[in-house]
Amino acid sequence: MDESSAKDLLRKYRDNTLTDEEMALLESWYLARAKSANLALNTDELEKQLDMVWESLPLNQERALRQKTRTLPLLKWVGVAASVVIAATIGLNFFRKAKPQPPVSQGVVVGDAIPGDNRAKLTLANGQSIMLHEAVNGKLAQQGQTAVIKTKQGEIVYEFETQEGSGPSRGLAYNTISTPRAGQYRIKLPDGTGVWLNAASSIRFPTVFPTEERVVEIVGEAYFEVAKVSKNKKRVPFKVRSGNQIIEVLGTRFNVNSYADEGAIKTTLLEGSIKLKVNGAEDRGVLLKPGDQARLVTNIRKNASQPARPFEVKQINTSNVIAWKEGYFRFDNVGLPELMRQLARWYDMEVVYEGTIKDYEFVGQIERDAKLSKVLRILELGDVHFKIDNKKIIVTN
């Protein structure tokens, strides 16, 4: 957005005549300008300006807009969370790091795609498949002494049932629940552990856990609320295998993102403690505390050696990571390719880029039940443009 357009929006802001979309554009322009002016957008710096009111702006607004060494806070709440644009009524505000560009003709969003919903496939130990979103509520299957039940809330629950005359177990029987693109599902495992599967994900687990340890395998993304289980006064560990990473916990809440196209496995701890290690590595692994996210690179070239310390750990805002479980896309300095991968999985679309990808970064949130066209129109406020062609999202300059 050029400064002439910004000046018009500033006047409309003072007159209280801004539309929701204009407010989003003005907020994102302000933060983009602050970034390009190299202003340290931290809370301490901006809190010093919290008492400045709108009327403190000079009458000559154009001169104020052209200042490069000083940027006044547009809204009072900016000082509370400087790098986060609070979601407005339209659902998403954002800014990009690329330098402001001249106005570009409005992108054309042709066609649409509906958001994903609760759908998944259950594959039983005998190979039988059940489409869970099509199945009626109640008992779906009986596997030995374990019943598979679909609740009124649509959740899949495994319940242990004592059957008269049943003999001892002949070994572990495994089930797999998988979600397609544009699907998600919630499961309660035989030990009571709650699992939320994101789109294009799967989990493999035994219908009855052994007494010495509980092990599941996942592909894609899953959120866990692990039940605490004890045997002879000893906690039974719970392990999650994702690629070459092993997570060991006792009872906790965490999220694992292991999509192959992300190039890394990201494990985020919300509560309790978990230990991560690389399968077969001599390294003792790493212990996470709440708020930590561990990143394990998975796309290392075959001729490249694994780093001595394979995990990169940092503190993050965990609410951004599990927003998908709560029904939102939430972006916190997310680059355009990563954002588009999320949209592609949730709307079951292919993404095609025309031209060079600019250095965009997005901040904000939008509900995941919005149609694709609405999401793209909001993103276009930042001079990114899209077209929908059948099952393709075309990103244009």
The 10s digit of each residue's pLDDT in 151-208 is: 999 999 999 876 544 444 557 899 999 999 999 999 999 999 999 999 999 999 999 9
Contacts for 54 with CB less than 8 Å, ≥ 6 apart = 13, 14
- With residues binned 3-state (H G I as helix, E B as strand, rest as coil), the percentages for the chain, rounded to 5, are 20, 35, 45
Tokens of 281: 């590595």
Confidence of residue 68 (pLDDT cuts 50, 70, 90): very low
Residue type, 358: K
Contacts for 116 with CB less than 8 Å, ≥ 6 apart = 181, 182, 183, 184, 199, 346, 347, 348, 368
Confidence of residue 102 (pLDDT cuts 50, 70, 90): very low
Q: What is the CATH number of domain 326-396?
A: 3.55.50.30
Q: Greater confidence, 381 or 128?
A: 128
Contacts for 3 with CB less than 8 Å, ≥ 6 apart = 62, 65, 66
The 10s digit of each residue's pLDDT in 314-340 is: 999 999 999 999 999 988 888 889 999
Among candidates 204, 218, 144, which has minimal Cα distance to 175? 204
Strand partners, 345: none
The 10s digit of each residue's pLDDT in 288-316 is: 999 999 999 886 554 455 555 789 999 99
- Dihedral angle at the C-alpha atoms of 306, 308, 311, 313, nearest 10 degrees? -150
Distances from the Cα of 4 to the Cαs of 7, 12, 103, 193, 391, in angstroms? 5, 13, 10, 56, 38
Among candidates 109, 34, 116, 105, which has minimal Cα distance to 75? 34
The 10s digit of each residue's pLDDT in 81-98 is: 222 232 322 333 343 443
Q: Greater confidence, 87 or 217?
A: 217
pLDDT number for residue 103: 40
The pTM (predicted TM-score) of the whole model is 0.74
pLDDT number for residue 21: 63
Radius of gyration of the chain (CA): 25
Distances from the Cα of 219 to the Cαs of 197, 202, 223, 264, in angstroms? 10, 5, 12, 12
Largest CA distance in the chain: 89
Residues 252, 246 contacting (CB under 8 angstroms): no
CA distance 207 to 189: 8
CATH class of 117-163+170-316: mainly beta
Strand partners, 363: 332
Topology alike, domains 117-163+170-316 and 326-396: no
Strand partners, 187: 156, 195
pLDDT number for residue 27: 59
* Mean predicted lDDT score pLDDT of the chain: 77
| Domain boundaries defined on the chain | 3-79, 117-163+170-316, 326-396
The 10s digit of each residue's pLDDT in 348-364 is: 999 999 988 777 788 88
